[in-house]
Amino acid sequence: MTIERGSLPYEPGALEPTISARTVNFHYGKHHATYETNANKLLEGTGLEGESMEAIIKKTVNDSARTGVFNNVAQVWNHTFYWKCLKPNGGGEPGGKVLELITSSFGGYEQFKEKFHAAAMARFGSGWAWLVMREGSLEIMTTANADTPVAQGIKTLLTVDVWEHAYYLDYQNRRADYLTAVMDNLINWDFVNELLAK
């Protein structure tokens, strides 16, 4: 099995004006593509070539001899998941099961949004902000660099990429503005509800 990033779920310009086609083309077409290429090169001869990305991530997470494999495979997985978490005309308060769980876990959508934003802003340097399911309730967590909740076997529901390459061309150093715009305009709550239904 070759590590594949998959196709974008929409055209590169579909997320404008929140995220420009230029950013998507660099992010998906350069960064994401490079992780894919590097992952496949680094996997050669490891005995892990036929494994799923999730299995490779779990098997290499704390193995210092295979840090390169972990970082690149995890970044392919994280980015593929991130693109699915966005959609044109998304964002805002969700409906369905996810709203019920957000209300029971955080007190309501506005409280969740505030906590998610704060967590993403507090992640120093490069990384990811996540909404995850653990023991029947929702939690917000962040990970550094390529790390992912998948490595710990935690059910992931939503992520926002807070590496600078995700927003620098559009927002420069204004991570807060990027986060607000993504939460208000692009989050694909239908995808989150589909994950909850599984």
Residue 180 lies in a domain: yes
Percentage of the chain beyond pLDDT 90 is: 96
Looking at 84, 108, 136, which one is the last position of a domain?
84
Residue 158: give the domain boundaries: 96-197
59 within a domain of the structure (yes/no): yes
Q: Are residues 63 and 106 in the same domain?
A: no
**Among 53, 84, 115, where does a domain finish?**
84
**Has residue 1 got a pLDDT over 70?**
no
CB-based contact 182:162 (threshold 8 Å): no
Mean pLDDT of the 35-47 span = 95
CATH number at residue 51: 1.10.287.990
Which amino acid type is present at position 20?
Answer: S
Q: What is the DSSP letter of 29?
A: I
Question: Within this chain, do residues 114 and 30 fall inside the same structural domain, yes or no?
Answer: no
pLDDT at 135: 87
Global confidence as pTM: 0.96
With b for 16 or more beta-carbon neighbours within 10 A and e for fewer, the 122-143 pattern comes to ebeeebbbbbbbeeeebbbbbb
